[in-house]
Structure 1
Amino acid sequence: MERRNFQIYSIPGYEEEIGRWLWCLEDVRKSLIKKLTTINPNLVDKKIDERQTISSLLYHIALIEADWFYVEVLGTEWDSEIRSLFQLEDRSDDGALIHIQGQSLEEHFYRLNKVREVFLSHFRTMDLNDWRRPRVLEHYDVTPEWVVYHLIEHESHHRGQIFQMLRELQND
């Protein structure tokens, strides 16, 4: 049996503490992508009991990451290139995730990777003071540190949903 190493590292090129949090964010994504590259691509659009599809969850993960980055961390309008990756809103009128269908895994991976690339590039120049400096918004204050924590939690949750859906779909 291969010996495994369970440690958190700091991604090179970042302030060490920030790099450790970003390593965790990247680790969640790595396990999601690794699993999805082994599946039958037709499963991403398949529904179980009217629940959302894997496609809808992948779209949602990328959109939420972009939104937290532009609104809460930067406090700016979205970059037009990133905005163009999201032709649909996140939710329907009834509050359910928007139904995404007909996009390949490669399209989903491109969207996820492009958002993450822009996200990570911003943190290369961030110091710990800015990392912990609250952004004052209308209804709450939030730090970039908390945003990264939240995105780790958010993607981990949806990764679990996706993995459960895959178990059910692959047993059909």
Structure 2
Amino acid sequence: MILLNRRTLLVSPLPGFNEEIGRWLWCLEDVRRTLLTELTGISQTILDTKIDERQTIGSLLYHIALIEADWLYEEVLVTEWDPEILSMFPFEHRSADGSLAHVEGQSLEEHFYRLNKVREVFLSHFQSMDLTDWRKPRVLEPYDVTPEWVVYHLIEHESHHRGQIFQMLRKLRKDL
């Protein structure tokens, strides 16, 4: 029997990277690809609507990009933020009560641009990285962390929020 919708599921290293690092980065990119694919074409209303007084999809997209940039500059590079990237985050990360900043009124294109630009810069810093640097701990005051762990964490972080966004999308598409 031939299955017409049979897929091949495998991880392939991103071209231009050390093979092992490229595999991890492929996973990071795959999470993003599925997120952007699902969000393509959603309305401004869906992007900006709060459910049960929680954050909006727009707020979560802002948060995902901000956290990725923060881990890149603070933990991997241990340097000041690129001013162009920093300028993409005009809102405080969290409100006074600790909840994510409310981001409303930014178009899907603006969110996609920010996510894509941060990812482009993120990936560019890994192209020349070898396995020694990939596994070299950055010794910071609160903890030691490797770029390898940062990428693992970002996969986990974005996957978690992608799940939240997908749940919100289902509810909003049904209710609106």
Are 2:62 and 1:46 equivalent residues in the alignment? Answer: no
Matches of 2:72 and 2:118, distance apart in 1? 9
TM-score by length of 2: 0.96
The answer to whether the Cα contact below 8 Å between 2:44 and 2:105 also exists between their aligned partners in 1 is no
TM-score by length of 1: 0.98
Matching residue of 1:16 = 19
Q: Which moved more, 1:36-45 or 1:20-29?
A: 36-45
Matches of 2:24 and 2:39, distance apart in 1? 23
Matches of 1:89 and 1:63, distance apart in 2? 10
Matches of 2:94 and 2:50, distance apart in 1? 17
Return 5+ residue gaps in structure 2 as ranges.
none
Are 2:98 and 1:95 equivalent residues in the alignment? Answer: yes
Report matched runs for 1:100-139 at 5 Å: 100-139=103-142
Aligned Cα RMSD in Å?
0.7
Are 2:35 and 1:32 equivalent residues in the alignment? Answer: yes
**Paired AA for residue 39 in structure 2:** L
**Paired AA for residue 35 in structure 2:** L
After superposition, the C-alpha distances for 1:10-47 in whole angstroms (9 at most, x for unaligned) are 00100000000000000000000000004233200001
Q: Aligned to 2:6, which of 3, 25, 44?
A: 3
Moved over 6 A (4+): none
Matching residue of 1:151 = 154
The count of corresponding residues between Structure 1 and Structure 2 is 172
Percentage of matched positions with identical amino acids:
73
Matches of 2:86 and 2:125, distance apart in 1? 17
Matches of 2:120 and 2:42, distance apart in 1? 24
Matches of 1:39 and 1:107, distance apart in 2? 13
Return 5+ residue gaps in structure 1 as ranges.
none
Are 2:89 and 1:86 equivalent residues in the alignment? Answer: yes
The answer to whether the Cα contact below 8 Å between 2:31 and 2:158 also exists between their aligned partners in 1 is yes
